[in-house]
Chain A
Amino acid sequence: MAERREAFKMLFSANSAKVETNKGDAYYDRLFQQCRARLDELKASQPLQAIDFHEILSDEGYDRREFMKWASAATAMLMLPPMFTPLVAEAAELMTRVPVIWLELQDCAGNSEALLRSDGPKIDEILLDIISLEFHETLMAAAGHQADAQLEDAMHAFKGKYLLFVEGAIPMGMEGQYGTIGASGETFHEHLVRVAADAAAVVAVGSCATYGGIPAAAPNPTEAVGVMDVLKGKPIINIPACPANPANMVGVILHFVLTGQVPELDSLLRPKFAFGYRIHDNCERRAHFDAGEFVEEWGDEGAKNNFCLYKMGCKGPMTFNNCSIVRYNEGVNWPIGVGRGCIGCSEPDFWDKYAYERPMSDANIKAPTGGVEKTVDQFGLGVLTATAVGIGIHAAASAVAGKKSDEGEAQ
């Protein structure tokens, strides 16, 4: 934990940061006031659960100092200056005020499983104390019409207030009938539209819900699409990756509680706090890339020495995500750590563009960033080009997203 906290802090101030991390005192002062007002409003609202958060923390063996450390790390992860730490702590205490409804559509339950692995907060805290999880098919006790009734109740009781998490793609072929749910045989599409109608915001979690994911891979037999392709007129936050990192799921909820708004998003509606950097920017093997030291074959001397996996097909240079910082399963490992390159799972169409064990130079499809498509013999030149193009495209994307989010905040 401590290492990861430090890593977040480094990220916040890293030179490689392509996200505008310092927006000036005036901006943060305004945001601070906004958050203050939001939290006061939430505090004054009827609590959903009569639970003393501090008591829970002490029951769980956390003292205030531990909790504030967590809050400080979370603040850094959300790319906010330290002055926000007390507000983030308050927001964490008010997370139960934001009910969550979680739908599973054309999915494999991988993101639900990832949520089960959450360590900050832990899943038992999420279920009982921290988040008001009103509906989640994989975890809930009720089935059949009682499950339907639970969904109806939650939608009614928290009209306009709930965050809707969606896992899985939406099959649009054959009038949506590749997936039905409930006794009435409602299609996934109808189900999503109905439940989203009264949501405060919709969080598409995992690559299927964001861009269609695996069912949408060529030839996309069921005409699967992501949430943003079918829902209009709702704030949508995309948390791609296969599966999405639970730290980012919690981060989005925390940000929503804190600000009452969706976080600043890039052009693909991904929160910049998590997707503002490429895997490559913070990769533990980056020095070997810069030094031209590569794994040339599985299990070779390079592999034994943690050399760069680019030649083995790593797509870290063109993939935006915070895995290289957050890692997985309480930070115990991540794909590049285990010697298998990044497959670009937080990028659109990655199954068709990136998910293979050969470098981009050998692929038929070029990376949208311009790619590290030069032969590896020219890697120095290739890297410079790719980095420049990558920055250019991302800067443009950020500018668009920044504009959107400025508009959002002005409202």
Chain B
Amino acid sequence: MSKHIVIDPITRIEGHLRIEAVIDDNNTIVDAYSSSTMFRGIEEILKGRDPRDCGLLAMRICGVCTGTHYQRSIEAVEHAFGVTIPKNARLVRNLIQGALYVHDHVVHFYHLHALDWVDITKALEADPAKAVAEAQKWASVAGVAAWGDSESAYKAVQERLTKFVKQGRLGPFAKGYWGNKHYKLTPEQNLVAVSHYLEALDLQRDAAKMQAIFGGKNPHPQSIVVGGVTCVQDIQNPARIALFKNLLLKFRDFIKRAYLPDVYMAGTMYADEALDGTGGGLKNYLSYGDFRLDDTEFYKSALLFPSGIVVGGDISKVIPLDQGKIAEDVTHSWYEGAKPLHPYDGQTIPNYTGFGKKEGGIAYLDTEKKYSWIKSPIYDDTRMEVGPLARMVIGVAAKDERITKYVTNFLTRGKLPTSVLFSTVGRTAARAIETELMADVMVEWTDELAANVAAGDLSTWTEFDFNTVSKSAKGYGMAEAPRGALGHWVRIEEGKVANYQAIVPSTWNAGPRDYKGRMGAYESSLIGTKVADPEQPLEILRTIHSFDPCIACAVHLVDTKGRELGVYKVDSVCAI
């Protein structure tokens, strides 16, 4: 007798996500459905506006990967106008994006994901002296000295937590799946991880500050404009660049001496799941490529992350990316449509049909029909996973020297086979590998910026004649967000936006089934996973969180018919 599990809300993510899973008698997941339950319609809002203003609005697609939509939107317009930005602008944008990557990945690991691996209540039983040894053990695997972890520091954290737990109200930690037998860390390991959770909570403010130095604020920076950046006074002030670098070095230290060792610790303790490929899912990976390394025009420059496709986990070859092969399907999404269409041709007719049956106060998704505000993107008629794992896999497959070095180093130090990457644990590890790489390369970019400014180049903006270039133009900003491939497509007529579309990382990953009944990355990754306690679907959270869901982004890809949506009525069965 199968059981149907409904998890709504999925917490510790951005946005509103519901997961439904069907488990068999052995508590193994045999079916899974991913649904987004919120819609805003930002593309419709962008239509008719001045293309120079789109970035500020499009950025509000997300407050977490903040600034990444901003830059993609500005780049789409620059691509349309044929504008190439100056070197300083490229470096500043790389640094703003880089700061976002390291910030986002660290916050994701500790604050959105760690509680799937770490039982904070177990940390209370730990011996602080042994915790020091434990932290050193994993730091040595990573080849570094442990992050400022002393017995007294662990003791202080433990006492603080004990007081917190003793008062009986756990606040944000209440009703976690504490004590679940699928938590595998020792008390000392839990204490190390919880200590770093708190440290990271404090330190992430520094990473946000880095973004604010050249971006004005975080979230939602404000210094990127079509043609360049506005922060000329911040780059010409050596103290600002020095402050940026100091914050970066301090944060990089935490990444190398706490984050990476903690990933080794968790990865080793959960190695069984990694080795048997739990959560691996589609094994088809896509990256648009990102971080321009020279000042040639768009899509012609060298990239930090190469673009491409890897299919079936076969890293022996990379298929070159052809954006013309991207299509979106709406068979199981709350829109009308007969066949998958390229975003430029995407005709979207909303068709909200609500939930299906309702029993015992629970509304179930109508999975045979339509069940999500997210569409199902397809590349060359194949479902794809995007994200840090895709970037690392494609980097290795493309034989990119830098990426291969970081991935190989990580696996060698951890004595891990490459195959562990194709799993939930691997997805989490790939994000950590990328964070270290990014922190290192950002130091180089910071120095490059300082040197360029010192050499007398203060150029931050490329002039263009708006009235001429905006008559009729179209372009795209296709690059990477921390969560994966992100594309903004814009068509401009007579100085106004005629059409605007965005396909975001979580659209690729969280999309429902397609016209052939094939699953998306979230759904596929859950199949075959055993849930120890269906009342506490910890394993489901662990795998879904490994993608770093960002759902508010994912539901904007459609250009709706706006107010016409109001005429669609929901099934009476779920009208409340």
List residues of chain B with CB within 8 A of the CB of A184. Answer: 358, 361-363, 576
Residues facing A in B37-63 (CB within 8 A) are 37-42, 44-45, 50, 52-53, 56-57, 60-63
Residues facing A in B3-48 (CB within 8 A) are 6-16, 37-42, 44-45
Is A404's beta carbon under 8 Å from chain B? no
Could you tell me if A335 and B216 are in contact, using CB atoms closer than 8 angstroms? yes
Assembled-state Cα–Cα distance A357/B120 (Å): 48
Is A57's beta carbon under 8 Å from chain B? no
Assembled-state Cα–Cα distance A39/B220 (Å): 37
List residues of chain B with CB within 8 A of the CB of A186. Answer: 576
Among B13, B44, B156, B220, chain A packs the most CB atoms within 10 A around the CB of B220
Given known pairs A183-B363, A330-B209, the reply for A144 and B62 (CB within 8 Å) is no
Could you tell me if B566 and A357 are in contact, using CB atoms closer than 8 angstroms? no
List residues of chain A with CB within 8 A of the CB of B214. Answer: 338
Smallest CB–CB gap between B244 and chain A, Å? 10
List residues of chain A with CB within 8 A of the CB of B56. Answer: 343, 355
The digit string for B449-474, where 1 denotes a CB below 8 A from any CB of A, is: 00000000011110100000000000
Residues facing A in B344-391 (CB within 8 A) are 352, 354-355, 358, 361-363
Residues facing B in A294-336 (CB within 8 A) are 297-299, 303-306, 327-330, 332-336
Of B15, B120, B216, B537, the residue contacting A333 (CB under 8 A) is B216
Is B574's beta carbon under 8 Å from chain A? yes
Name the residue on B nearest A323 (C-beta).
Answer: B217
Smallest CB–CB gap between A287 and chain B, Å? 15
List residues of chain B with CB within 8 A of the CB of A129. Answer: 160, 164
List residues of chain A with CB within 8 A of the CB of B236. Answer: 304
List residues of chain A with CB within 8 A of the CB of B156. Answer: 59
Of A133, A149, A298, the residue contacting B225 (CB under 8 A) is A298
Assembled-state Cα–Cα distance A171/B563 (Å): 12
The interface on chain A, measured as residues whose beta carbon lies within 8 A of the other chain's beta carbons, has a size of 98
Could you tell me if A107 and B565 are in contact, using CB atoms closer than 8 angstroms? no
- What would 16 A/B residue contacts be, using CB atoms closer than 8 Å? A49-B167, A51-B163, A59-B160, A107-B552, A112-B63, A119-B205, A127-B172, A128-B164, A136-B172, A174-B568, A174-B570, A180-B38, A185-B355, A219-B562, A336-B216, A356-B50
Assembled-state Cα–Cα distance A36/B219 (Å): 37
Could you tell me if B552 and A108 are in contact, using CB atoms closer than 8 angstroms? yes
Is A143's beta carbon under 8 Å from chain B? yes
Of B60, B202, B230, B361, the residue contacting A338 (CB under 8 A) is B230
Residues facing B in A87-141 (CB within 8 A) are 104, 106-114, 116-117, 119, 122-124, 127-129, 132-141
Smallest CB–CB gap between B552 and chain A, Å? 5
The digit string for B225-255, where 1 denotes a CB below 8 A from any CB of A, is: 1011011111010000001000000000000
List residues of chain A with CB within 8 A of the CB of B537. Answer: 144
Could you tell me if B576 and A150 are in contact, using CB atoms closer than 8 angstroms? no
Smallest CB–CB gap between B173 and chain A, Å? 5
List residues of chain A with CB within 8 A of the CB of B8. Answer: 144, 181-183
Name the residue on B nearest A217 (C-beta).
Answer: B45
Given known pairs A116-B204, A138-B14, the reply for A328 and B352 (CB within 8 Å) is no
Name the residue on A nearest B211 (C-beta).
Answer: A329
Of B64, B201, B211, B363, the residue contacting A185 (CB under 8 A) is B363
Smallest CB–CB gap between A273 and chain B, Å? 20
List residues of chain B with CB within 8 A of the CB of A357. Answer: 52-53, 225
Assembled-state Cα–Cα distance A221/B352 (Å): 14
Given known pairs A224-B40, A304-B236, the reply for A356 and B363 (CB within 8 Å) is no
Is A235's beta carbon under 8 Å from chain B? no
Among A144, A149, A213, A351, chain B packs the most CB atoms within 10 A around the CB of A144
Assembled-state Cα–Cα distance A136/B111 (Å): 12
List residues of chain B with CB within 8 A of the CB of A153. Answer: 174
Q: Which 10 A-B pairs have the closest CB atoms?
A: A110-B63, A141-B176, A338-B216, A221-B41, A328-B217, A299-B461, A185-B363, A339-B230, A108-B63, A142-B175
Smallest CB–CB gap between A302 and chain B, Å? 10
Residues facing B in A147-184 (CB within 8 A) are 147, 149-150, 153, 171, 173-175, 177-184
Name the residue on A nearest B574 (C-beta).
Answer: A185
List residues of chain A with CB within 8 A of the CB of B198. Answer: 124, 128
Is B215's beta carbon under 8 Å from chain A? yes
Is A218's beta carbon under 8 Å from chain B? yes
Given known pairs A181-B37, A184-B363, A340-B225, the reply for A110 and B174 (CB within 8 Å) is no
Could you tell me if A140 and B12 are in contact, using CB atoms closer than 8 angstroms? yes
Assembled-state Cα–Cα distance A136/B228 (Å): 37
Could you tell me if B361 and A215 are in contact, using CB atoms closer than 8 angstroms? no
Given known pairs A141-B176, A143-B541, the reply for A190 and B230 (CB within 8 Å) is no
Could you tell me if A107 and B216 are in contact, using CB atoms closer than 8 angstroms? no
Given known pairs A127-B201, A190-B576, A243-B220, the reply for A138 and B12 (CB within 8 Å) is yes
Smallest CB–CB gap between B33 and chain A, Å? 13
Is B115's beta carbon under 8 Å from chain A? yes
Could you tell me if A122 and B202 are in contact, using CB atoms closer than 8 angstroms? yes
List residues of chain B with CB within 8 A of the CB of A298. Answer: 225, 227-228, 230, 460-461
The digit string for A52-72, where 1 denotes a CB below 8 A from any CB of B, is: 000010010000000000000
Of A139, A175, A243, A333, the residue contacting B111 (CB under 8 A) is A139
Smallest CB–CB gap between A301 and chain B, Å? 10
Is B223's beta carbon under 8 Å from chain A? yes
List residues of chain B with CB within 8 A of the CB of A119. Answer: 205
Is A376's beta carbon under 8 Å from chain B? no
Given known pairs A177-B352, A223-B566, the reply for A109 and B552 (CB within 8 Å) is yes
Could you tell me if A109 and B232 are in contact, using CB atoms closer than 8 angstroms? no
Name the residue on A nearest B361 (C-beta).
Answer: A184
Is B171's beta carbon under 8 Å from chain A? yes
Assembled-state Cα–Cα distance A248/B77 (Å): 35
Assembled-state Cα–Cα distance A280/B216 (Å): 17
Is B506's beta carbon under 8 Å from chain A? no
Given known pairs A123-B202, A144-B8, the reply for A343 and B463 (CB within 8 Å) is no
List residues of chain B with CB within 8 A of the CB of A269. Answer: none
Is B166's beta carbon under 8 Å from chain A? yes
Smallest CB–CB gap between A285 and chain B, Å? 10
The digit string for B535-558, where 1 denotes a CB below 8 A from any CB of A, is: 011000100000000001000000
Is B432's beta carbon under 8 Å from chain A? no
Could you tell me if B458 and A304 are in contact, using CB atoms closer than 8 angstroms? yes
Could you tell me if A144 and B53 are in contact, using CB atoms closer than 8 angstroms? no
Is A222's beta carbon under 8 Å from chain B? yes
Assembled-state Cα–Cα distance A328/B210 (Å): 12
Could you tell me if B44 and A113 are in contact, using CB atoms closer than 8 angstroms? no
Could you tell me if B41 and A215 are in contact, using CB atoms closer than 8 angstroms? yes
The digit string for B491-530, where 1 denotes a CB below 8 A from any CB of A, is: 0000000000000000000000000000000000000000
Is B213's beta carbon under 8 Å from chain A? yes
Smallest CB–CB gap between A371 and chain B, Å? 18
Given known pairs A242-B60, A328-B217, A329-B218, the reply for A147 and B115 (CB within 8 Å) is no
Of B13, B216, B363, the residue contacting A337 (CB under 8 A) is B216
Known: A106-B38, A185-B355, A340-B230. 5 other contacts (CB 8 A): A297-B461, A329-B209, A334-B216, A340-B225, A357-B52
Could you tell me if A107 and B63 are in contact, using CB atoms closer than 8 angstroms? yes
Assembled-state Cα–Cα distance A146/B170 (Å): 13
